[in-house]
Structures are given as C-alpha cells and as structure tokens.
Amino acid sequence: MSSEIIIEILKEVQKAYEANASEIEKLDQAIGDGDHVINMRRGMKAILEIEKELGPLKPGDALNKIGMTLLASIGGAAGPLFASMFMGMAKVLGPDDMDDSKTVAKMISSGVESVKQRGKADIGDKTMLDVLIPVSNLFSELVETDNLPKNEMLGQLMAEAERGMLSTKDIAATKGRASYLGDRAKGHIDPGAKSCQLIIFTICNYLINRGEDK
Ligand code: ADP
Ligand code: MG
C-alpha cells in the first residue's frame, strides 16, 4: 500500500464528509461549539495541499507529515487528537510498507493509543474514542482469524463503528466541551464519534470496492 492510496482514500473521505457535513455540524452545535466540521474541513484541505509532497514518501513518513500538518492547521481539541492518531500510526510503521493487514492493525492500535494518551480519555467518555477503541480492538482480533474473507472483516468493522457511534448517544460526556453540559449532553451523538464512524465507513467501502485483498 503506497502513500498515493492514503491520498485517494482522503479524497473519498472528503466527499463523504461534505455529504454529511450538515448532520455533523448540528451534533457539535447541540453539545459543543459548532466548529467541528470547520475543523475537519480545514484539516483535510491542509493535507490535500501537500498532496504532491506526500506522494513520493514512504507511508510511515507520509503519516507523520500528515500528523504534523494537522497539528499546525486544526485548532481545538480535534487537531492534536487527529494529529496524534496519524503520528501514533507512523510510529509503528517506521520505514515499512503497510502491506499486510496485521501491520495495519498494529498501526491503527498504536494510533488509537496515542489519541487516548493525548486526550487522557477512554471508552465511555462520549468521544471519538468510543468508535476508535472498539473498532481497533475488533480489527486486531479479526486479523488473527484464519480464512476470514476480507469483505466479511470490513463489514464487521463497519458494524462496530456504527455501534460505537450510537453508544455515545445516551451517556453524559466526561471529556471535552460536552462534559460541561452534564446530563444535557444525553440524547445527542458525539460529533467526533460520528466523524470517525463516517471515516471508517468510507475507508471500508473504498477497500470493498477496490476488490483487492488489503
Ligand atoms: P473542540 O472540542 O475544541 O471544539 P472539535 O469540535 O473539532 O473540537 O472536536 C470535538 C470532538 O473531539 C468531540 O466530539 C470528541 O469526539 C473529541 N474530543 C474532545 N475531547 C476529547 C478527549 N479528551 N479525548 C478524545 N476525544 C475528545
Ligand atoms: Mg467544537
């Protein structure tokens, strides 16, 4: 898997994000400060602006550069958190290619670990981690399952992302801006969790449609 694929996937994510932007904006207006979509757009735009520099890099270097770009371009909580995800992924990959699913699973798990450390948050805090942690755990488990068809694995990951996103709805937040609302945050899906579910759906659909064993 090359750095070009990261860019290709990002363009798909950007399209999917625009199609869902108003829904996600409403979520952050309900329990945050309404800037989540602006932050995400700004981050994606900044990465695509350095598309040509990323293309020739090894995937690990590209992920690291993406992380640094996000750190510099997105403000708020989401910038450093998404930056940590990419830098954490890069840490595991080093100069290697991400050519087998076990490496990709380790990479995602390291990325999620970095988000947990950066956000001092865990599952049940009503954040993006309620999607990222269970999906990453399931992915690590599924790559150890022999003969599991690729699309079956991707389908299970999408279902887990959906489940994680919905799990944020009826709980109060204990991290981030929404935590100031106490019980008033209940009844609303967390915007960061929705963004992550959408990103995971888009990546899985991309890989399903691509039809390669990756
Ligand atoms: P801000 O909260 O600074 O306005 P955004 O609106 O872009 O930033 O992002 C908000 C999202 O960030 C939340 O919906 C939540 O998923 C995530 N988030 C906030 N704080 C944390 C944290 N400590 N750990 C993990 N994720 C967090
Ligand atoms: Mg916000």
| pLDDT tens digits along 111-128 | 999 999 999 999 999 999
Pocket test for ligand 1, best of 17, 122, 133, 177 (most atoms within 8 A of CB): 177
**196 is written with which tokens?**
């992550």
Q: Which ligand is nearest to the CA of 177?
A: 1
Judge whether residue 48 has pLDDT over 80. yes
Mean pLDDT of 157-183: 96
**What's the CA-to-centroid distance between 74 and ligand 1, angstroms?**
12
Backbone angles phi, psi at 155, to 5 degrees: -60, -45
Judge whether residue 95 has pLDDT over 90. no
Judge whether residue 140 has pLDDT over 80. yes
The model's pTM: 0.96
The Cα 25–Cα 38 span in angstroms is 9
Average pLDDT, the chain: 94
- 11 CB burial (10 A radius; 0-12, 13-18, 19+): middle
Pocket test for ligand 1, best of 28, 84, 181 (most atoms within 8 A of CB): 28
The Cα 128–Cα 161 span in angstroms is 10
Judge whether residue 84 has pLDDT over 70. yes
User: Is residue 191 in contact with ligand 1, taking CB distance under 6 Å?
Assistant: yes
Q: What is residue 1's predicted lDDT score, i.e. its pLDDT?
A: 59
The Cα 55–Cα 127 span in angstroms is 31
Judge whether residue 214 has pLDDT over 50. no
pLDDT range class, residue 212, cuts 50, 70, 90: low
**In ligand 1, which atom is closest to the CA atom of 74?**
7
